[in-house]
Amino acid sequence: MFKALTKTSFLVKAPYSFKLNNTTQFRRAFSLSIIAKHGHIHPPKKGEELHITFVLKDGSQKKYEVSEGDSILDIAQANNLDMEGACGGSCACSTCHVIVDPEYYDKIPEPTDDEDDMLDLAYGLTETSRLGCCINMNKDLDNIRVALPQMTRNVKSSDFE
Ligand code: FES
């Protein structure tokens, strides 16, 4: 028991630096960064539900109740819709391309330069195209409709089915 406590004390009081091969080595601080949880959405609180409808490639529609702040990419992935999100939602691909219903397009904040650059690379770009990872749900977007394009730049065999 005593030995175990001593060992623990040593670990807690370990020096910030130590010598190795006559050079001073610095211990790196242990730190945690926020883990991006893609496809993770929060269940909406009662009375605060927002709604989004996805128009799928086959023309069928799926409607979901979601929370404010959830991104369209996360909502799609949490519901196993066909939205790849190859860059993990960091606005560095265009595989989360969605075509927004014109009625809602102007309610979405203007795209950043980064989003515009990625949109230029999107397959089947339209005048109301946006990136799903760059749109977070808010009250103005309640009942928004977005369509998934027929293909993205990451072409896969299922795109031709
Ligand atoms: S997931 Fe890559 S740009 Fe949105």
Which of 94, 117, 154 has most ligand 1 atoms within 8 Å of CB, for mutation? 94
The tens digit of pLDDT for each residue in 122-147 reads 988 999 999 999 999 999 999 999 99
Instruction: Give the confidence band of 3 by pLDDT, cuts at 50, 70, 90.
Output: very low
Q: Ligand 1: residues within 6 Å at CB?
A: 73, 85-87, 89, 91-96, 118, 131, 133
**What atom of ligand 1 comes closest to residue 85's alpha carbon?**
1
Asked whether 154 and 95 are in contact (CB, 8 A), the reply is yes
Instruction: Give the confidence band of 160 by pLDDT, cuts at 50, 70, 90.
Output: low
Distance in Å, CA 28 to ligand 1 centroid:
32
Tokens of 24: 């001073």
Q: Domain 50-152's class?
A: alpha beta
- Specify the pLDDT at position 5: 44
Instruction: Tell if the pTM clears 0.75, that is, is over it.
Output: no
Tokens of 93: 């691909």
pLDDT, mean over the chain: 84
Q: What are phi and psi of 84, to 5 degrees?
A: -70, -55
Helices marked H in 13-161 = 72-78, 102-105, 113-119
- Specify the pLDDT at position 36: 54
Name 77's Cβ contacts closer than 8 Å, sequence gap at least 6.
38, 39, 83, 85
DSSP H or E run through 5: helix 2-12
The tens digit of pLDDT for each residue in 45-58 reads 999 999 999 999 99
Q: What integer is the mean pLDDT of 57-64?
A: 96
Domains of the chain, by residue range, sit at 50-152
Distance from C-alpha of 136 to C-alpha of 7, rounded to nearest angstrom: 49
Asked whether 152 and 84 are in contact (CB, 8 A), the reply is yes
Distance in Å, CA 134 to ligand 1 centroid:
8
Q: What integer is the mean pLDDT of 98-127?
A: 95
DSSP H or E run through 10: helix 2-12
Distance in Å, CA 114 to ligand 1 centroid:
11
Angle at the Cα of 96 from the Cα atoms of 95 and 100, rounded to 5 degrees: 130
Instruction: Give the confidence band of 159 by pLDDT, cuts at 50, 70, 90.
Output: low
Name 154's Cβ contacts closer than 8 Å, sequence gap at least 6.
84, 86, 93, 95
Beta strands in 14-127 (DSSP E): 17-20, 23-26, 50-55, 61-66, 97-100
The tens digit of pLDDT for each residue in 23-46 reads 877 766 665 555 555 567 888 999
